[in-house]
């Protein structure tokens, strides 16, 4: 790709498609899964309702993602990372190693500091979502003998039978496969059509997202400040002078802030950002997203499996939402590749149940952890504020405990799929 934003051509006149796996949703999680399966000889068809050209526009959603170290190994192992880590693809361009993380509570001088030197390398990376999408599209084009991307396209109907799955697109094309994967996000239509219920609750918070330019070099340091309205994260992007902001506020206040003119908005931003990076300017559109927790009690049904946000959606406080989607990808890929090599049915109940046993507990544990952090830190109650501050300072003074939390943030805790270990399948 080498810095170009050209999108491989999509053949809208293609004939009906037969594949081993049909993936509904070609975003960060669904697209990575398609690359992983195709690389290992499993044919995939990917349906996405969005136009690939629109998905990689800088103004599409404004978000960037923190990629944990173990998840970077997944992207590298399936051939996406090489396309992400080359060229200049936006204000930040490429990827930025996270070398340090500093966590503070309001204006307390006490803090928690993670240093990459203590773990022998970056704790993760930052990249604009469009950079990852460009990498996925480039890799899918390289794997087009096994991967078929059909976009923009919508399903008019679909079904799951005893021996396979099928979908009919609104333009009349038909797709047949052995397994259907719902990777179509929090509002998954595939999940809902299967009658899989959803457990959810709102945080009554919204995330205001944007990219800023700042005068001083961020030196690869990520900052997370816990303010009364919610966490305020300053996340370093490539080049040293751009950062992605995730500014959490109570929803009613976030709506008011979004309506401010540029001068008043900047004043509100500066009061939270501070002047430690010198002058700060907003250099992207402002985006605002409501924050909720949700999860599906089951990830599987007959010849159907849920991955990523279709299965679980968490608060961005720990920056783990997309990473846990990639953990799903690595685990499901391992199970499907094993079945493929043994000549087993990839949509068989035993294969899907093994994936669910592997991933459900891990996801529920992280959902509970992020929910607890949000509830503990999103307030200004004096005794809790004192306890939080002392707790952060205590962890900072306990090397063993701090290293454990660092390894957890890097994705290196728990039963890791082979792709997350950096080993082949």
CA atoms within 13 A on the CB side of 193: 19
Rounded to an integer, the average pLDDT of 201-207 is 94
pLDDT of residue 71 exceeding 80:
yes
- Domain span holding position 357: 17-199+293-421
Distance of CA 31 to the CA centre of its chain: 12
Q: Which residues contact 49 (CB under 8 A, 6 or more apart)?
A: 151, 152, 153, 154
Beta-strand runs (E) in 170-266? 174-177, 179-182, 199-214, 221-227, 230-236, 242-250
Rounded to the nearest 5°, which phi and psi values hold at 90? 160, -170
Q: Collapsing DSSP states into helix, strand and coil, what is residue 319? A: coil
pLDDT per position as a tens digit, 206-224: 999 999 999 999 999 999 8
> Does pLDDT of 336 surpass 90?
yes
Tell me the average pLDDT across 24-48: 97
Question: Three-state SS for 383?
Answer: helix
With a cut of 70, say whether residue 110 has pLDDT above it. Answer: no
Res 149: pLDDT: 96
Alpha carbon separation from 246 to 62, 260, 418 (Å, rounded) = 10, 18, 31
Quick one: pLDDT at residue 373? 74
Q: Is residue 55 part of a domain?
A: yes
DSSP characters for 101-147? EEEEETT-S-EEEEEGGGGTS-SEEEEEHHHHHHHHHHHHHHTTTTE
Mean pLDDT of 197-204: 94
Instruction: Return the closest-CA partner of residue 333 out of 25, 32, 35, 36.
Output: 36
pLDDT in tens, 216-248: 999 999 998 888 888 899 999 999 999 999 999
Domain assignment of residue 205, yes or no: no
Mean pLDDT of 101-105: 84
Distances (CA, A) of 120 to 127, 240, 342, 410: 21, 21, 38, 12
**pLDDT band per the 50, 70, 90 thresholds, residue 381:** low
**Who has greater pLDDT, 122 or 142?**
142
Whether 224 maps to a domain, the answer reads: no
Q: How far is CA 282 from CA 89, 214, 242, 279, in A?
A: 18, 9, 10, 10
Q: Is the pLDDT of residue 13 over 70?
A: no
Looking at the domain assignment, is residue 106 inside a domain?
yes
Q: What's the rounded Cα separation, in Å, for the pair 250 and 255? A: 9
264 pLDDT higher than 60: yes
User: What is the per-residue pLDDT for 289?
Assistant: 94
pTM: 0.89
For residue 278, pLDDT beyond 90: yes
**Given this model, what pLDDT does residue 7 score?**
44
CATH number at residue 142: 3.50.50.60
pLDDT at 229: 87
> Average pLDDT of 191-196?
97
- How far is Cα 406 from Cα 395, in angstroms, rounded to an integer? 11
Q: Among 18-32, 77-91, 96-110, whose mean pLDDT is lowest? A: 77-91
From 194, 184, 204, 3, select the one nearest 89 (Cα to Cα): 3
Do residues 173 and 315 lie in contact, with contact meaning Cβ atoms separated by under 8 Å? no
Torsion sign across C-alpha atoms 408, 412, 416, 418: positive
Rg (Cα) of the chain, in Å, rounded? 21
Sign of the dihedral defined by the CA atoms of residues 218, 269, 230, 59, in that order: negative
Please give the average per-residue pLDDT across 125-147, as a whole number: 95
Residue 157, burial from CB neighbour count under 10 angstroms (0-12, 13-18, 19+): exposed
So what's the pLDDT on residue 4?
Answer: 38
Q: How confident is the model at residue 104 (pLDDT cuts 50, 70, 90)?
A: confident
With respect to residue 111, please indicate whether it lies within any of the assigned structural domains: yes
Tell me what pLDDT residue 378 has. Answer: 63
φ, ψ dihedrals at 137, nearest 5°: -65, -40
Query: How many domains does the chain fold into?
Result: 1
**CA–CA gap between residue 30 and residue 81 (Å, rounded):** 16
Domain assignment present for residue 231? The answer is no
Report the C-alpha gap between 56 and 99 in whole angstroms. Answer: 27
Pick the closest to residue 190 from 100, 335, 308 (CA basis).
Answer: 308
For residue 377, the model assigns a pLDDT of 66
For residue 363, tell me if it sits in a domain.
yes
CA dist., res. 345 & res. 417, Å (int): 21
Q: How many CA atoms lie within 13 A of 166 on its CB side?
A: 10
The confidence score (pLDDT) of residue 85 equals 78
Average pLDDT over residues 170-185: 95
User: 123's torsion region: left (phi>0), alpha (psi -120 to 50) or beta?
Assistant: alpha
Pairing between β-strand 100-105 and β-strand 111-115 as defined by DSSP bridges:
antiparallel
């Amino acid at each position: 790709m080498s810095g170009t934003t050209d999108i491989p051509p999509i053949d809208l006149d293609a004939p009906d498609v037969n594949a081993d796996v049909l993936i509904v949703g070609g975003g960060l999680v669904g697209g990575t899964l398609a690359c992983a399966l195709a690389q290992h000889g499993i044919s995939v068809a990917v349906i996405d309702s969005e136009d690939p050209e629109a998905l990689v526009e800088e103004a599409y959603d404004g978000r960037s993602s923190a990629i944990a170290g173990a998840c970077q190994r997944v992207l590298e192992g399936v051939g996406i990372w090489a396309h992400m880590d080359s060229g200049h693809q936006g204000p930040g361009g490429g990827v930025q190693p996270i070398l340090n993380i500093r966590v503070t509570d309001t204006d307390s001088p006490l803090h928690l500091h993670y240093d990459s030197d203590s773990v022998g390398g970056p704790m993760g990376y930052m990249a604009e979502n469009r950079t990852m999408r460009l990498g996925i599209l480039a890799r899918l084009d390289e794997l087009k003998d096994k991967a078929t991307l059909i976009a923009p396209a919508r399903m008019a109907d679909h079904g799951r039978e005893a021996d396979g799955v099928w979908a009919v697109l609104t333009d009349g094309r038909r797709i047949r496969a052995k397994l259907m994967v719902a990777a179509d996000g929090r509002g998954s239509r595939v999940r809902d059509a299967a009658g899989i219920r959803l457990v959810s609750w709102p945080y009554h918070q919204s995330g205001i997202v944007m990219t800023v330019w700042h005068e001083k070099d961020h030196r690869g340091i990520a900052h997370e400040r816990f303010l009364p309205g919610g966490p305020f994260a300053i996340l370093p992007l490539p080049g040293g002078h751009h950062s992605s902001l995730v500014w959490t506020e109570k929803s009613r206040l976030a709506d008011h802030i979004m309506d401010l003119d540029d001068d008043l908005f900047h004043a509100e931003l500066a009061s939270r950002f501070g002047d430690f990076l010198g002058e700060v300017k907003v250099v992207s559109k402002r985006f605002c997203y409501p924050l909720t927790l949700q999860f599906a009690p089951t990830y599987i049904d007959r010849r159907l499996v849920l991955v990523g946000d279709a299965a679980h959606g968490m608060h961005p406080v720990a920056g783990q939402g997309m990473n846990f989607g990639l953990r799903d990808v690595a685990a499901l890929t391992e199970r499907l590749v094993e079945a493929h090599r043994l000549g087993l049915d990839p949509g068989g109940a035993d294969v899907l149940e093994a994936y669910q046993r592997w991933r459900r507990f891990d996801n529920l544990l992280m959902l509970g952890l992020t929910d607890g952090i949000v509830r503990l830190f999103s307030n200004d109650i004096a005794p809790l504020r004192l306890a939080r501050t002392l707790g952060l300072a205590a962890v900072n003074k306990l090397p063993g405990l701090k290293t454990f939390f660092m390894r957890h943030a890097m994705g290196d805790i728990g039963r890791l799929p082979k792709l997350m270990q950096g080993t082949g399948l």
